[in-house]
Structure 1
């Protein structure tokens, strides 16, 4: 079995990239011949990770693997035109002996498709070449089925590999932040307003009334932007922040593991990897109610800072709770084996047909 994963690979450590990295590690650990065709910004070289910058290098490398019969698994958001062009190209290129799978990751996908009939038609056509479509949530599946994608082809499977959650050593600034704060919260940051930074700051001001030394450790991109500095100033929370920048993923997991609670105050979501990572580590997790959250996440009313502060207090008071989380690795490995087996049977039938035609011609 040979599997080619197509998608972003860290750095940076976004949700899709982290899942591709986790799945790559899981499959390698199971002895699978697996490679990654990295279409992201790229970073340090990693074993079996092939950079594909630009359309021509990407198409050439992809075509080689399709011609050799690799099972191809695309990972993309599904909430922008570039994502759907990628899906259409990979699903439409010739390669009859190369089964294709796609995972659509974004919680913004339903709204994106609902906004335009043209988008829905394009999505239906783009997904026609895939043997299986993996949706990270029921909402994503329903949106795809509404486009005309056959329901039996779409499976709901969170993009998460619990077996690959391994906290690493943390930088000195993380240890210093932990030692300074009696209560330390953590949050993955992104410049997009979808991540709920302003809401979290308002809740932090509320928490500081009863927890004067509370700290919020932020990691991710955009922590030095003008918009970030403006929001800090307007919310008057500078004294409660631990600004850590972009951490390596093992270090980010180490930070989460040292936190009293992990917070996900997003306005939209698919199936957050960081939420499941926190739960896997036994860290109390608080998240908005914009989508179905895995147990035992504590949810708050989206957009309500007072409710967010209330639920954080409850989560910290309750303390750690370990509940097993989903691992997509074994299910995907089984799917790849099934598709490879079916493809082998088809190839055998084709060979038999060709031999029969040859004998008939010889006679």
Structure 2
């Protein structure tokens, strides 16, 4: 079963070009921005774009003056404008011409970090770089070439501040040469207000599926994301595990929240495997969900699963933990406190852990609540911005 739930909240416009007029001047209701954020604003909905959407909402709630340049180039509303085209030139142009004194960059490409650092130096702007996943390690660690390491090191050491989503990235920043007081560890999770989460937000077909299956598992990601020759989100792995789980828990259902499809052939292969395993009525695919719909589905399901082969600090995982949903995850990267971790790619261990969890869900939930620790909130960004603005 498949549900398509396309987001209609953002206004889609033709891609902008790099003009000579500063877009900030077109937003007459907004004060001169102190900070320019550059990153992808949803749709599509992924971990980083959801973080940027939430950060945008938080800063607006604080009446903090900022402008957001949408790297997806789809949204123009309030204080959001498309980054522009051609994209690489637009990074340079926006940083050089923005009236903001601080630029906050969200990208997984080290080359863009280098360009942004160069533009910030030319434009005399303070640069904040958020590092969400493994991109920095890929550009500086084993397997990278000498030139790439040198360029990455040069860019990172000249940033005004770096926000690392986990301690491992922070340690790498210090290895590169950043002083400890210029690195902040802050997971990219900003919770939704409770009034934006509820069963009424779930598409009817998906809600009916969850109500008629017990227990229900939920996983999220993209079809056909291949890194180092492996499917990152492991949907086929989830389906093989589901077939085994249903031997003991025959009414188990699996919800797959799909942000997008990189490879249609891979999607069709996964759906064919679902049918081959006799799981056509046990799997619900939900496409293109907004963040409030995703969180409502996490809340309605019993267990969140993330057997990824690599990862960043998953916002979807943080959402599930925040909603007190037991989580079974791979050990591809260090995971947040409270997760039940299994070896990456180990189907037998994954099934065994899920089986034990499903045998006593109340105990698993209680253990999660016991282990969870409070996270710092988005107010940390305000502290970083104000420190750089005052410098």
Say whether the fold is shared (TM-score over 0.5). yes
Residues 270/330 of structure 1: CA separation in 2 closer, same or farther (3 Å cut): same
- Measured against aligned partners, the alpha-carbon deviations of 1:162-212 in whole angstroms (never above 9, x if no partner) come to 355742611112211112212111110312111122222221121111111
Q: In structure 2, what is the equivalent of residue 228 of structure 1?
A: 267
Deviation at 1:232, TM superposition (A): 4.2
Aligned pair partner of 1:122 in 136, 148, 151: 151
Unaligned runs of 5+ in 2: 1-32, 226-230
Q: Distance in 2 between matches of 1:63 and 1:111?
A: 28
- Aligned pairs for 1:1-363 (under 5 A) are 2-40=34-72, 42-55=73-86, 56-65=89-98, 68-77=99-108, 83-93=109-119, 94-96=122-124, 98-114=125-141, 115-116=143-144, 117-162=146-191, 166-167=196-197, 169-190=201-222, 191-192=224-225, 193-220=231-258, 221-222=260-261, 225-234=264-273, 236=277, 237-316=279-358, 317-319=360-362, 320-321=365-366, 322=369, 323=372, 325-342=374-391
- Structure 1 residues 9, 69: CA separation in 2 closer, same or farther (over 3 Å shift)? closer
In structure 2, do the counterparts of structure 1 residues 223 and 148 end up closer, same or farther at CA, with 3 Å as the change threshold?
A: closer
The answer on whether the counterparts of 2:127 and 2:159 sit within 8 Å (CA) in structure 1 is yes
Distance 1:340 1:134, change over 3 A: same
- Per-residue CA deviations over 1:280-338 (Å, capped at 9, x if unaligned) read 11222221122222222211121111211222233342334554642441111111111
- Contact 1:38 1:51 (8 Å CA) reproduced: yes
**Residues 124, 149 of structure 1: 8 Å contact kept:** no
Cα 1:154/1:324, change in 2 over 3 Å: closer
**Any unmatched runs of 5+ in structure 1?**
78-82, 343-363
**Counterparts of 2:355 and 2:255 in 1: how far apart (Å)?**
16
Take 1:153 and 1:256, find their aligned partners in 2: how far apart are those partners?
A: 35
Question: Counterparts of 2:240 and 2:337 in 1: how far apart (Å)?
Answer: 26
Structure 2 distance, partners of 1:290, 1:106, is: 12
Of 87-96 and 156-165, more deviation after overlay is shown by: 156-165
TM-score by length of structure 1 reads 0.84
In 2 relative to 1, CA 313–327 (structure 1 residues): closer, same or farther, beyond 3 Å? farther
RMSD value over aligned CA atoms?
Answer: 2.3
Q: Is the 8 A contact 1:121 1:147 kept in 2?
A: no
8 Å contact kept, 1:262–1:278: yes
Deviations 1:87-143 (A, max 9, x none): 1222222233x3211101113542443212222111112224311111212222333
Q: Matched residues in 2 for 1:337 and 1:108: separation?
A: 27
TM-score with structure 2 length normalisation?
0.78
Relative to structure 2, which stretch is displaced further, 256-265 or 87-96?
87-96
Segment of structure 1 superposing worse, 49-58 or 128-137? 49-58
Change (3 A) 1:59 1:153: same
